[in-house]
Amino acid sequence: MVIVLWRESWLKPLSIYDIETDTCKFCKRILRDQDFVTSCEFCDIGIMHDNCANEHVLNKHKVEVKKKIELHRDKRLHDFQ
Ligand SMILES: [Zn+2]
Ligand SMILES: [Zn+2]
């Protein structure tokens, strides 16, 4: 079964003053105008590019992601019972 991970799709414009950093915490590059950024839901690493966050989560939080998928699976099973 293919499981995809939905990320909130709305865009919330934030200035670098709001997020209190001007670099991506993952790749350390300077954030540029209209970069897509997000934070990690599993740790407080800080603001990262959306792409960087994907890599970060898949590399650092394999266990958490698996758990989440299992939880989701249990819930669905429960709904059907
Ligand atoms: Zn980055
Ligand atoms: Zn993290």
> How many whole angstroms from 68 Cα to the centroid of ligand 1?
24
Beta strands in the chain (DSSP E): 37-39, 47-49
pLDDT average per 10 residues of sequence, the chain (81 residues): 82 92 97 94 95 96 93 69 54
| pLDDT of res. 10 | 86
Residue at token pair 């919330």: 12
Residues near 21 by Cβ (< 8 Å), separated by ≥ 6?
Answer: 31, 46, 47
Residue 77: the pLDDT is: 64
24-56 residues labelled b (16+ CB within 10 A) or e (exposed):
bbbeeeebeeeeebbebeeeeeebbbeebbeeb
Domain residue spans in the chain?
18-80
Q: Which ligand gives the minimal distance to the CA of 58?
A: 2
Can you give the pTM of this predicted structure?
0.80
